[in-house]
Chain A
Amino acid sequence: MFESLTERFDRVLRKITGRGLLGDSQVDETLREIRVALLEADVNLDVVRSFIDRLRDRLKGAEVKEGLTPAQTVLKEVFDEVVHLLGDQKASLQLSSKPPTIIMLMGLQGSGKTTTAAKLAYHFRQSGRRVLLVASDLARLAAVEQLKILGEQIHVPVVVPDDGVSNPRDMFPKVRKKWIEGMHEVVILDTAGRLSIDPDLMKELVDLRNLYKPKESLLVLDAMTGQESVNVAKAFDADIGVDGVIFSKLDGDARGGAILSIRSVMGKPIKFVGVGEKVDRLEPFHPDRMASRIIGMGDIQTLLEKAQSAVSAEKARQIVTKASANQISLEDFLEQIRSMKKMGSADELLSMIPGASTLKSQVDFEKVESEMKRTEAIILSMTRLERLHPEKLDGSRRRRIATGSGTTVQSVNQVLKQFEQVRKMMKTALKPNGMRALKSLLPF
């Protein structure tokens, strides 16, 4: 996500890198380029205007700060502006002091409400809460069915309308009974997609709000939305009241204009972002981290958190002990591959490494990921004995493994060679001065 905006910023900054003081014409030129970059990213025109005005004041007014080059000054000012636009502080979901916490999702057609409802339910379920989903989109064909299937997948009960019920309001008594009986702590309401200019459907949402009195009414918006996004958001806020926004489909190459616009126009925080099709692909929104990714400075914080949730500290210690004794086995290797997969796609991970986002176009992620898959298949085709003692793998065993994993003997050899390299590398890294030795092996 955001690659093209990141690249544009990078290009703008590169032009002034190495320059001394910026003259007025250079400031204007830089600002013009930033303006076009923002507009191409679908940032709302009003937001762009005030962004550029503020930036102009700061760039023209400010002396170049001690120790900062003009390029760094621009970068810093842009970064601060972007963080500010994104909302400064992380905003969490508010839970009711007395359960259940009721969350109502609303938005335009196709913005991803139903999928987000399931992701949100999964999010709460993972933190051990009793969740209930309510299918109140009775307009789109098979929307109820869709939520029902998603609910089954994540083991969350779904309240569906009885036969003949066509107004979602009429479901309320049933839903209420269900959450009392089931002692549910969080109730998530999926609603039909609607246009902000459709008075009848907006009235329906008002009715639902009055009935359910949700703690959080969340607007689900497609991250690719154009100039109209802020008006849509304002209309929903005026009619129903919006407590926060969830952006969907950030896993495409959306340039994030709507994300950059929404806060300053509506004054309501972004609470979550959807970053993939799978049900666990919903992330809490951190303004500073997102800003850092947009500017191309990476997001080490999220990377570390992902690593921590994928590998426990205990596991990490075990690996270190084994590695220093050169006792790493193919079992450990397999586990490492799996925890990497748990952390997310290679593509996603690389964009969190500072400075690496511009490398992305040079890496074939499909290939990286299919190779990882093949490696996994090969190791899985080995017996436990073979995994613990790879030196026992003779020609006939290698042939069997190749057949078993649907690969070739060459691929099996390759995996073993790779494993040997990793083993050596880890041993080197753990020696005193090891990191330096390791660094000399890396290209950057």
Chain B
Amino acid sequence: MNILQRLGSGLKKTREKLGSSLAQLFGKERSPQFYEELEDLLVLSDVGPEQASLLIRDLKNWERDSENDNGKDPVLFLEERIASFFPLDPPVWVEQPDWKPVVILMVGVNGVGKTTTTGKLAHRFREEGKSVILGAADTFRAAAVQQLRLWGEKLDIPVVHQKEGADPAAVAFDTVKAALARKIDVAIIDTAGRLQTKHNLMAELGKIYGLVKREMEDRPFETLIVLDATLGQNTISQLENFRKAIPVTGMILTKLDGTSKGGIVVSLARKFHLPVRYVGLGEGKDDLVEFDPVLYARALLRPEESLRSS
């Protein structure tokens, strides 16, 4: 299954329960509740009530402006509209392919899948023929270091680590230093999960970022926030507060393999103009794929068709 089919098959279940899919909604004679039903559909995808009503407003404006143009499809309009929120600026490693090392700092709240995603991301770079080093800077959660080391063994990648409870900033610093000294292509640093309301932990993150930045001598690097597709509107607060602590350069959306649609990224992309770098679609090490805004928007709005067409 490719990304569309996977997304589609998950999304379809919710849709069936809802009983009125978009295709039906637009196909039939428009009922007086048409916009309301459409709004509900978006809310159920975790797009959020505010964003849902903004999108409805966009649609109404567009319909008014294109009154004489019968050839256009309103679903297509919404798809394009949603896809347009996601900026397409490439990551550091694409923009500056000669820079070494590429440093990626993985951040996020507890339980979103940072360590697993770190492993999968390392595997992706390895498949591209790049050398990778991992930094186990989650020194808080019991056995998190062990978890990353097992990933290292599985992928045959070195892991910089200290014992549990060690200073995470020191581990991050050592990882960058090791990557520089050993001329390694990519260094990925896993950090501890922290709820965005814990000020001391957010300050700690600022310190980790600061040390990495200093060691990188102000060359740009990626700070990717890992977001869980099964979580709802709280994700907005996560990104807002992480952005207060450190500059976030992109998002990774995990657990899109279930029935959850992670519609919240639509709001996040529109609000913060941040790209989604990858989406996690399953448990296997190959299940981290690049994000495609157009495919995502299509899978969000018409899962049945994305299943058929691919």
Contact = CB atoms under 8 A, between A and B. Distances in A.
Given A142-B143, A226-B260, A257-B232, 15 more contacts: A36-B49, A40-B50, A142-B146, A145-B142, A196-B258, A222-B230, A222-B231, A224-B228, A227-B45, A228-B14, A228-B261, A252-B109, A252-B195, A252-B234, A253-B237
A77 interface: no
A22 B17 CA distance: 37
Nearest to B164: A149
A222 B141 CA distance: 17
Interface string A329-360: 00000000000000000000000000000000
A350 to B, nearest CB: 14
Contacts of A153: 142
A149 B231 contact: no
A197 interface: yes
A263 interface: no
Contacts of B46: 42, 226-228
Contacts, number: 146
B258 A110 contact: no
B71 to A, nearest CB: 33
A141 B147 contact: yes
Given A197-B259, A225-B230, A226-B260, A252 B111 contact: no
Q: Which of B10, B144, B230 has the most CB of A within 10 A?
A: B230
Given A108-B258, A109-B255, A251-B195, A222 B111 contact: yes
B147 A142 contact: yes
Interface stretch (B79-87, B196-204, B213-221, B300-308): B196-204
A169 B235 CA distance: 36
A4 B197 CA distance: 13
B258 A251 contact: no
B49 A231 contact: no
B47 to A, nearest CB: 9
A110 B233 contact: no
A141 B233 CA distance: 29
Interface string B270-310: 00000000000001000000000000000000000000000
B232 A253 contact: no
B90 to A, nearest CB: 29
A197 B230 CA distance: 13
Q: Indicate the member of A145, A196, A255, A365 with the most B CB atoms within 10 Å.
A: A145
Contacts of A248: 111
Nearest to A251: B195
A253 B241 CA distance: 11
A154 to B, nearest CB: 11
A145 B143 contact: yes
B43 interface: yes
A227 B257 contact: no
Interface of A: 4, 35-36, 39-42, 45, 108-112, 139-143, 145-150, 153, 195-197, 222, 224-229, 231-232, 248-249, 251-255, 257-258, 277, 365-366
B245 to A, nearest CB: 13
Contacts of B142: 145-147, 149-150, 153
Q: How large is the interface on B (under 10, 10 to 19, 20 to 34, 35 or more residues)?
A: 35 or more
A140 B148 CA distance: 11
A192 to B, nearest CB: 10
A141 to B, nearest CB: 4
Interface in B110-124: 110-113, 116, 119
B258 A254 contact: no
B242 interface: no
Contact of A40 (B13, B48, B109, B141): B48
B40 A253 contact: no
B211 interface: no
Which of A149, A249, A252 neighbours the largest number of chain B CB atoms within 10 Å of its CB?
Answer: A252
7 contacts: A36-B50, A45-B40, A109-B255, A142-B146, A197-B10, A224-B231, A248-B111
A227 B41 CA distance: 11
Interface in B222-270: 228, 230-235, 237, 255, 257-261, 264
Contact of B232 (A141, A195, A225): A225
Given A145-B146, A249-B110, A41 B197 contact: no
B138 to A, nearest CB: 11
